[in-house]
Amino acid sequence: MESFKAVTWQQGLMYLVGILLIYLAIKKGYEPALLLPMGFGAILVNLPFTGVLNQTIEGIGEVQGIIQWLFEGMIEASEAMPLLLFIGIGAMIDFGPLLSNPKMFLFGAAAQFGIFFVIAIAVLFGYDLRDAASIGIIGAADGPTSILVSQVLKSKYVGAIAVAAYSYMALVPIIQPFAIKLVTTKKERQIKMPYNPSNVSKGIRIAFPIIVTFVAGFIAPTSVALVGFLMFGNLLRECGVLNSLSDTAQNVLANLITLLLGITISFSMQAAQFVNIDTIIIMCLGLVAFVFDSVAGVFFAKVINLFSKKKINPMVGAAGISAFPMSARVIQKMGLEADPTNHLLMHAVGANVSGQIASVIAGGMILSLVPQMIH
C-alpha cells in the first residue's frame, strides 16, 4: 500500500506514456526494437521504491540501480552505446546506389536544413544554446545521433529528445507524405528518373569509408567518433574478408545495443524531469525540424531542376533525411501512387544513405561549434 500512496499523478501519466509506446511498437510496428524497451523502461523508472534506480535502504546504505548504472556508465560517462550502434548501422548500409549517382550527396546535405532552422527557433523560445542544439538535432531523424549530441552537450532534456527522435523516425510513413504533398504537385510527383546503375568496383567501395573518415576528420574533427564508427562498420561489410564480423555487427551487436539503449535511455524519462511544458515544446519543435528537413530537400531538387535538362523528382530530395531505409520506401510508394510505372527506389536509397552520413556530420559540427560559441 505504501507504494500505491507514493505514486504521483506525473508518474501515473508516465505509465500511460509507456503503455502508448509499447502499443505503437506492437500494434503499429513503429520502431519496435526501440519503442518497446523505452516504453517498458518508462514504467520501470517511475515505479516507487524499485531497484532500477539508485536508492538508500535503511541499514544498508545506497544501493545502485541497474538502469541508472547503465545510463551513467554507458551513456553519460562515455556515450559508448550510441557510438557502438553506429558500427552496426554502418555494416547494414550499402553505399552502392549513392556511389553510382554521386549527386545524391547534395540531397543529404540539403535535408539537414531543419536542424539549424530549429536551433535558431529554440534559442528564440529562450532555450540556451546547448539545449537548442540538442533539440534541433531531432530533425536529423537519427536517434543515436540525437542521444549522443544531447548527452555530450549536457542537455536537460535527453529523455524528451530521445522519445521525439525515435517517435518521428517511426512515424516517417505518416509525416513525410503529408509534408511532401504540401510542397509538390501531382505532376512533379510523376517525374520519372530512369535508373542506369554504374558498376561500383570493390576498390571504390573499400576506399569510400576510409576517404569519408579522412574528410570528416579534417573538416569536422568532433564528428570522427560518429562518422568513424559508421564507416568502420561499412568497411567490415565491404572488405570481403570479415563476413562473420560484418554479420555480427549487423545482427548481434546492433540488436544488443538497441535493446540496452532503449531501456537505458528511459532513465531520462522520470516523471519529475519529463512531465512539463518543455517536453511538449520539444516534441513540437522536433516535428518542425523533421518537416523542414524533408521540405528543404524537396525545394533543393526543384532548384536543381531549374538548371538541369534531366529533371529530378522533387520527392527524392526528401529522402535526404537519415531515416534509412524507411524514407526511401516512402518515396518509392508515393512515386507508384502518382504513376504505377514510376520506380524511384534506387534514387531515393542513394539520397537516404547520403542523409545518414550528413546527419552524423551535422551532429559532429554541432558538437564542435556549440562549445566554441558558448565560450
pLDDT at 15: 93
pLDDT at 288: 92
pLDDT at 362: 86
Q: Residues 165, 138: contact at Cβ < 8 Å?
A: yes
d(CA 265, CA 67): 8
List, in sequence order, every residue forming a beta bridge with 57; answer none if it has no partner. 61
Under DSSP, the state recorded for 138 is: G
Q: From first to last of the 375 residues of the chain, give the pLDDT tens digit.
A: 566 767 888 989 999 999 998 998 898 887 788 889 989 999 999 998 788 887 766 666 677 788 988 888 887 777 788 888 889 989 998 888 888 888 888 888 888 899 999 999 999 989 999 999 999 988 877 778 888 888 888 888 888 888 888 778 777 888 899 999 999 999 999 998 887 766 788 999 999 999 999 988 887 787 788 889 999 999 999 998 999 999 999 999 999 998 898 888 888 888 888 888 888 899 899 899 989 999 999 999 999 999 888 889 999 999 888 877 788 888 998 999 998 998 888 888 888 988 888 888 888 888 887 776 765
pLDDT at 235: 96
Reported as type and span, the H/E element at residue 61 is strand 61-63
Under DSSP, the state recorded for 140 is: G
Q: Residues 351, 313: contact at Cβ < 8 Å?
A: no
Phi, psi of 333 (to 5 degrees): -65, -40
**Residue 193 exposure: Cα atoms within 13 Å on the Cβ side:** 26
pLDDT at 3: 67
Residue that the C-alpha cell 518508462 belongs to: 42
41 CB burial (10 A radius; 0-12, 13-18, 19+): buried
